[in-house]
Structure 1
């Protein structure tokens, strides 16, 4: 089974969509309704964002982008820097993998990691 998409509420649709486009290379597709952004990753995964009056995620909730190598993790970190986005702590080893964590507008916690083996 392959995960196809995730649909998240956001309080600032344009800020959140722009973050994922600039920082993670998502392509914005035409949306069937106002107040919605459909973003597609290079691998075909769809991140759907919907404008909401409020969005509260439970403690620990996050989305993760698994990378193919440690170098890909560093490249993802550099992409955030090149896009002029706020930089989180640099990639570091944690629980047997190289990762970094960042926060997209609206409180969406994002993990970028490579797990060897």
Structure 2
């Protein structure tokens, strides 16, 4: 069985949407103003973003985006860093991975 969709509550829907489109290739397929957007990934997984005034995820909550190899992880890390995002350095842990705080109040893990 596959998971179909995930809803994230974020403080800024448009900023979160731009981030996910720019770095992870998600494609918007519907929206309701600045309060709600529906995004698809390459496998048609549905990620919805919903506006919330106060967003508080548990410290360890994150959303993972796998890459095709370690070089792709390093490239994503470099790109995010150059664009002004605070990223951790990639490490070999449960794979090759790093974390970045995404606009809107949640964390993303980029891994191989």
TM-score interval (norm. to shorter): 0.7 to 0.9
Q: Does 1:89 align with 2:82?
A: no
Structure 1 residue matching 2:42: 3-state secondary structure: coil
Structure-2-length-normalised TM-score = 0.83
Give 1:77's aligned residue. Answer: 77
1:59-116 deviations in Å (ceiling 9; x for gaps): 211111123322332343345357x251413322123x100100101221111111xx
Give 1:56's aligned residue. Answer: 56
Structure-1-length-normalised TM-score = 0.80
| Root-mean-square deviation over aligned CA pairs | 2.0
**Range 68-77 or range 8-17, more displaced:** 68-77
Structure 2 unmatched ranges of 5 or more = none
Q: Does 1:101 align with 2:95?
A: no
State the distance in 1 between where 2:86 and 2:44 align.
26
Q: After the TM superposition, which segments of 4 or more aligned residues of structure 1 sit over 4 Å from their partners?
A: none
Q: State how many pairs are aligned.
A: 111
